[in-house]
Amino acid sequence: MNNIISPRELHTALQQPQQSIILLDCRFTLGKPEAGSDAYQNEHLPDAHYLDLEKDLSSVATSHGGRHPLPDVQKLAQKLGSLGINADSRVVVYDEQNGMMASRAWWLLRYIGIEYVQILNGGFTNWKQSGYETTKSVPAASPQTFVPFVQQDWGLAGVEYVKENLHNPNVVLVDSREKKRYLGLEEPIDFVAGHIPGAIHSFWQDVLTSEGLWKTDKEWKEMFFAIDSHAEIIVYCGSGVSACPNVLALKSAGFPNVKLYAGSWSDWISYRDNPIEKNR
């Protein structure tokens, strides 16, 4: 299954009576927590339900765990079940942030056992520019009982695991933030600048074309050609959200062992004795 679906492909699939697709609108603007919900209330894809990054796709931040800790699995499953989703559902997620929020949803749904999850290429903007219908109507749901089954091999890394593997030549750390943040030249969000020692840099938006569409599997393979295909790859960002597009690209490119460090940089620096590196 392709992880990405075009507006045309989605529109065609939605016209098929035998197809049952649940759409999830994941639009969210960091620093403006109500903007995504407001955008959804104003206009969204027909029959789409809304998932909020901070209320649904994250848990409350504490002293450790980063700015967007993963949500409680049971709570997320209950939310998804209330929207009519179970483990056998076909789900398409979208946002308006170049796939960043949608990728977080994609990763989480796959992690808790939903296999058929795709991201709408180009998100809400591409759908609308393609001339397809939008609506203000909030759909009714047919609640399902969703029993989550965490996919341990899907790949999740915690802070201790990262520390244990800092000098492991078979483990590659990938920092997904902007280059200036990686280098420690500036840090507009967190209280410490720099990166985890030994991490290489690959800005998450580089998995997209200049038009904001997802690149192909072949292009991703070329992007990550320098990484050993047998290596274990741990991807992080600031808070475990913008790392997810890189996780998707690496997995789609055929790398078999890719993990998300969900707490990411904001978790790493919450432990004052953790080493940091700068390349000023």
Q: Which residues form the catalytic set?
A: 237
Letter for the amino acid at 64? H
The answer for residues whose C-beta is within 8 angstroms of residue 69's C-beta and 6 or more apart is 58, 59, 60, 61, 62, 240, 262, 263
What CA–CA distance (Å, rounded) separates 36 from 246?
23
The stretches of 131-231 forming alpha helices (DSSP H) are 159-164, 179-183, 217-223
What CA–CA distance (Å, rounded) separates 68 from 263?
7
Work out whether strand 49-50 and strand 21-25 pair parallel, antiparallel, or are unpaired. Answer: parallel
What CA–CA distance (Å, rounded) separates 5 from 2?
7
What CA–CA distance (Å, rounded) separates 23 from 50?
9
Letter for the amino acid at 150? V
